[in-house]
Amino acid sequence: MPIATKIKNQIESSSWIRKMFEEGASLRQQFGEENVFDFTLGNPTMEPPAELHRELKKIADNPTPGMHRYMNNAGYEETRAAVAEVIAENCNQAVTAAHIVMTCGAGAALNVVLKTLLNPGDEVIILTPYFVEYKFYIDNQSGIAVEVVTKDDFQPDLEAIESAINSRTRAIIVNSPNNPTGVIYPESTLKALGALLRRKEDEYSTTILAISDEPYARISFGDAVPCIFSSIQNSIIVTSHSKDLALPGDRIGYLAANPAMNNVELFMQGTIFCNRVLGFVNAPALMQRLVTNLQRVSVDVEEYRRKRDLLYNKLTELGFEMVKPGGGFYLFPKSPIADEMEFIRIAQRYHILLVPGSGFGAPGFFRIAYCVEDAMIERSLPHWEKLALELGLAAN
């Protein structure tokens, strides 16, 4: 059966993901699970918080008629109100249930927002390095991704963003804490971006939406991640509980519009319609009920800090160079040799599995996902040492 040429090409262009899986599986088969150090997947091994099981049991023990039926495509009013309450508090804005649509994770929320927004050929700025799926999501919804490189510390380069904006620019996606770099954008940067977008909106008589993709927002090792609504009027949060409640397989997230956004009511009608016609229909009913009372609960961030410190301290001591992440659960070091694919192949000889920076639009780097067991990190350290030694790093 022939498939669409575009999909065939997209499968090809992301074939490195499949290859990594295959290589990991083959190494595990050859050397045993214990002897392979897989840092490729942002799939937390941490279990959800205990509160989640209590809520789940409460729901299971108290079934109510109609709890498995279709609902308003935006989701349950009660769930949306609970989500809105916490955002209103964090952002100090009048966010209500009317500004929330529950979605099948942040991935669905991004597709819903982009579909609501884009006319064919409209441009969406993404900052390099970026989450792998952005380009596919933008293409799904007839848009064109425009890549803008971040600064050496992976913070947004406002001058470069300014140069990339034109009359076709409809949105910019910002992701903080960032996948793959772990950096957090300070409020001053968001405010400067807000001022820039406003200036450009005036210049072109357009509206440019800042889409804040923030599934790692509650995984910050310092102050709370600043709320985008306080800095950018035309802004929307897309997020999920995949990371903060460790529920990636359960597909529950939401989008939250800034109440001050231009034409917010029409925009919300659009997102509710798109949630329906993209075939998501609504976010899973059980998951919505489950997270309603968990809006102030998160996984233990200290566990991620410990994992970050363990790896960051050891790898920098060995001579690897990287920006110290302020949140999330990724490190994005510089490849010690120019061709990071070659570096990744060498690392595999030490049974260390990593993701090439090229996959994130940033060749010359590699990503470590450290949302893994401490024991695996500990077991991997002597192998990192040998790797550094082979590359002549440890001597530095």
Applying CB under 6 A, which of residues 131, 221, 312, 384 lies at the interface with ligand PLP?
131
Applying CB under 6 A, which of residues 79, 169, 242, 335 lies at the interface with ligand PLP?
242
Q: In whole angstroms, how close is the CB of 240 to ligand PLP at the nearest point?
A: 3
Residue 277, exposed/middle/buried by CB under 10 A (0-12, 13-18, 19+)? exposed
Residue 232, exposed/middle/buried by CB under 10 A (0-12, 13-18, 19+)? buried
Which window, 70-78, 105-113, 304-312, 359-367, contacts ligand PLP (CB under 6 A)? 105-113
Q: In whole angstroms, how close is the CB of 31 to ligand PLP at the nearest point?
A: 27
The yes or no reply on residue 177 touching ligand PLP (CB under 6 A) is no
The yes or no reply on residue 380 touching ligand PLP (CB under 6 A) is no
Applying CB under 6 A, which of residues 253, 327, 333, 357 lies at the interface with ligand PLP?
253
Applying CB under 6 A, which of residues 44, 75, 105, 182 lies at the interface with ligand PLP?
105
Total residues found in the chain within this entry: 396
Minimum CB distance to ligand PLP smaller for 24 or for 253: 253
- DSSP result, 22-53: HHHHHHHHHH-GGG-EE-------SPPPHHHH
The yes or no reply on residue 213 touching ligand PLP (CB under 6 A) is yes
The yes or no reply on residue 48 touching ligand PLP (CB under 6 A) is no
| Rg from Cα positions in the chain | 21
The yes or no reply on residue 240 touching ligand PLP (CB under 6 A) is yes
Rounded to whole angstroms, what are the CA distances from 121 to 10, 138, 170, 200, 390? 18, 10, 10, 19, 48
CA 168-172-174 angle, 5° bins: 170
Contact in structure between 329 and 307 (CB atoms under 8 Å) = yes
Strand partners, 32: none
The yes or no reply on residue 194 touching ligand PLP (CB under 6 A) is no
The yes or no reply on residue 42 touching ligand PLP (CB under 6 A) is yes
Binding mask 62-101 for ligand PLP (x = CB under 6 A): ----------------------------------------
Closest CA to 147 of 362, 354, 308: 362
Which window, 12-20, 29-37, 103-111, 281-289, contacts ligand PLP (CB under 6 A)? 103-111
Q: In whole angstroms, how close is the CB of 345 to ligand PLP at the nearest point?
A: 25
Q: Tell me, by CB under 6 A, how many residues bind ligand PLP.
A: 13
Rounded to whole angstroms, what are the CA distances from 271 to 246, 281, 374? 26, 11, 40
Minimum CB distance to ligand PLP smaller for 182 or for 336: 182
Report the alpha-carbon distance of residue 305 to residue 326 in Å, rounded.
9
Q: H-helix or E-strand containing 102?
A: strand 100-103
Minimum CB distance to ligand PLP smaller for 42 or for 75: 42
Applying CB under 6 A, which of residues 143, 182, 194, 215 lies at the interface with ligand PLP?
215
Give the count of beta carbons closer than 10 Å to the beta carbon of residue 136.
Answer: 16
Binding residues for ligand PLP, rule: CB under 6 A, are: 42, 105-107, 131, 175, 179, 213, 215, 240, 242, 248, 253
